[in-house]
Amino acid sequence: MPAASIAQSAPHSDTLVEQETLDGLHDFVDGVMAQQIASHEVAGATISVVHDGERLFSAGYGYADIDAGARVDPAVTLFRPGSVSKLFTWTALMQQVEQRRVALDEDVNAYIDFEIPAYEGEALRVRDLLTHSPGMSDVGGITAPTLEELTPYGEWIAEHIPQRVWAPGTEIAYSNYGVALAGYIVERVSGEPFADYVEAHIFTPLGMESTTFREPLPDALEDRMASGYEAEDGRLVAQPFELFSNIMPAGSGTSTAHDMSRFMLAMLNEGEYGGARVLQPDSVQLLFENSLRNAPDLPGMAHGFYVVREAGPRLVGHGGNTGDFHSNLILAPEAGFGVFISVTGGGESSAGRTDLTNAIIGRVFPEEPAAREPRPSAEASPAGRYRANRRDYSRPAREEYDIVVAEAGDDALTMTSQDETTYWERTGPLTYEKVTGARPGGPFERIQFHSGETGLVLSFSNQPYMAYRRVATEE
């Protein structure tokens, strides 16, 4: 597709991106996507890149419908952003904070018509939802196989309150339930059904006419939906439209790359796009600012957004995975730069989405690998088995998803997860950088081992929204 741009009145690039890099970026992405389609089971992909108040380019790759031979059009074809949809929910919540209908440090029970029990006397605050630190178990049943089996999300979250497993505001563990609860708060205090609210107060003002949380899709959008795909017996097979309305505000969105560019431009322009303001500058700044982090020296959560990189420049964003679609949205506020990506295909297409994201970051904002440091003899070995803190605590732990850490000489280690082993070298106290698959310019993935209430904890730089606790040897 040819490059397209939207003029925007207030460019703000304190950290400039090299023009030569921008000039060649579209061709670079074309090359990466050709490789992804050939090697990562990608059926179709859509991308939009913005910079300095304009849509720099957008593009579609592969097919929206393989059997019909319909190609992806970034202005027309609908994809499922998955959890990237959460950014709209946080925008809606901050609108209610601006109107003083919601206070971030208030007990969530002040705004809903059922009760979230306190944890050892500590109430769950609205702020804890924004930081993914409600201290709740993960909970299943968030999808429905048929429209008839969908439950209105307000009823679903009232009937499926997760187990409280630690104090709120103390540890980050990604929570779809928490975001659905935030959306319900918006619905309750505004008096508008959530899907109506985001259309009236976010999508329509920004001109996002092809974006919705509604399931099934409105008639006007249905024919524009890309098929989701999975690999079966060596070919890509179309799948039914996925249903997430049980937790609507956490992941039911559908959009185009062009519409997502409008949202990115608004966020990069302090909440305003095309003369319409959806957030005040202070609210946007809060969404971008640091909140909690699990590891002391790795990125953590901003508010709603997670931190991708602390500096050089600072990057914030969000990823999204449904069963069939895999997405990323990354913003560099200091550089006025943003990218949205969504792909569908077989299981490997998720890795393709990640590879493309990293390739763009490494080209536009390259970095150097960290210096290696030998491990002093006094530093304890981090070897052991580690288990994600984000899981359903009402069910037995699934040991096949544990990460096994082993020493690989004095200054390196290996990590094995689901039969994949990677190699890491020490860069500082209990901190390591990934060697496997590292590319010139980065981004370079790091891990850090740190102390938790129950012992040693493992955190990843690219997973600021969760952590892994070392499992006691007797388990």
Pairing type for strands 384-388 and 325-332 reads unpaired
Q: DSSP states of 56-100 as a string?
A: EEEEEEEEEETTTTEEP-TTT-BB--GGGGHHHHHHHHHHHHHTT
| Cβ atoms of residues 218 and 209 within 8 Å | no
Of 438, 424, 449, 431, whose CA–CA distance to 369 is shortest? 438
Report residue 270 CA to chain centroid gap. 20
Tokens of 469: 């606790």
**Which residues neighbour 355 within 8 Å (Cβ) at sequence distance 6 or greater?**
32, 36, 40
Buried b (16+ CB within 10 A) or exposed e, 187-208: bbbbebebbebbbebbbebbbb
Of 263, 333, 340, whose CA–CA distance to 302 is shortest? 333
Buried b (16+ CB within 10 A) or exposed e, 363-388: bbbeeebbeeeebeeeeeebebbbbb
The predicted structure's pLDDT at residue 96: 98
Alpha-carbon radius of gyration of the chain? 22
| Cβ atoms of residues 308 and 298 within 8 Å | no
| Cβ atoms of residues 383 and 405 within 8 Å | yes
Pairing type for strands 412-417 and 420-428 reads antiparallel
Burial grade of 241 (CB within 10 A; 0-12, 13-18, 19 or more): middle
Give the ranges where 289-444 is alpha helix by DSSP (H).
Answer: 349-364
The tens-digit pLDDT sequence of the chain (475 residues) is 333 333 333 444 445 788 889 999 999 999 999 999 999 999 999 999 999 999 999 999 999 999 999 999 999 999 999 999 999 999 999 999 999 999 999 999 999 999 999 999 999 999 999 999 999 999 999 999 999 999 999 999 999 999 999 999 999 999 999 999 999 999 999 999 999 999 999 999 999 999 999 999 999 999 999 999 999 999 999 999 999 999 999 999 999 999 999 999 999 999 999 999 999 999 999 999 999 999 999 999 999 999 999 999 999 999 999 999 999 999 999 999 999 999 999 999 999 999 999 999 999 999 999 999 999 999 999 999 999 999 999 999 999 999 999 999 999 999 999 989 999 999 999 999 999 999 999 999 999 999 987 789 999 999 999 999 999 864 4
| Cβ atoms of residues 467 and 457 within 8 Å | yes
Q: Say whether pTM exceeds 0.85.
A: yes
Burial grade of 59 (CB within 10 A; 0-12, 13-18, 19 or more): buried
Separation of alpha carbons 5 and 146, rounded Å: 39
Tokens of 151: 């439950």
Burial grade of 70 (CB within 10 A; 0-12, 13-18, 19 or more): middle
State how far the alpha carbon of 150 is from the alpha carbons of 10, 119, 153, 244, 247, in Å. Answer: 43, 30, 8, 8, 10
Q: How many CB atoms lie within 10 A of CB 403?
A: 20
State how far the alpha carbon of 442 is from the alpha carbons of 120, 146, 150, 171, 310, in Å. Answer: 44, 42, 42, 28, 14
What SS3 state is found at 266? helix
Buried b (16+ CB within 10 A) or exposed e, 251-275: bbbbbbbbbbbbbbbbbbbbbbbbe
**Which residues neighbour 412 within 8 Å (Cβ) at sequence distance 6 or greater?**
423, 424, 425, 426, 432, 435
The predicted structure's pLDDT at residue 475: 41
Separation of alpha carbons 426 and 383, rounded Å: 13
Of 366, 372, 348, 364, whose CA–CA distance to 435 is shortest? 372
The predicted structure's pLDDT at residue 452: 83
The predicted structure's pLDDT at residue 473: 66
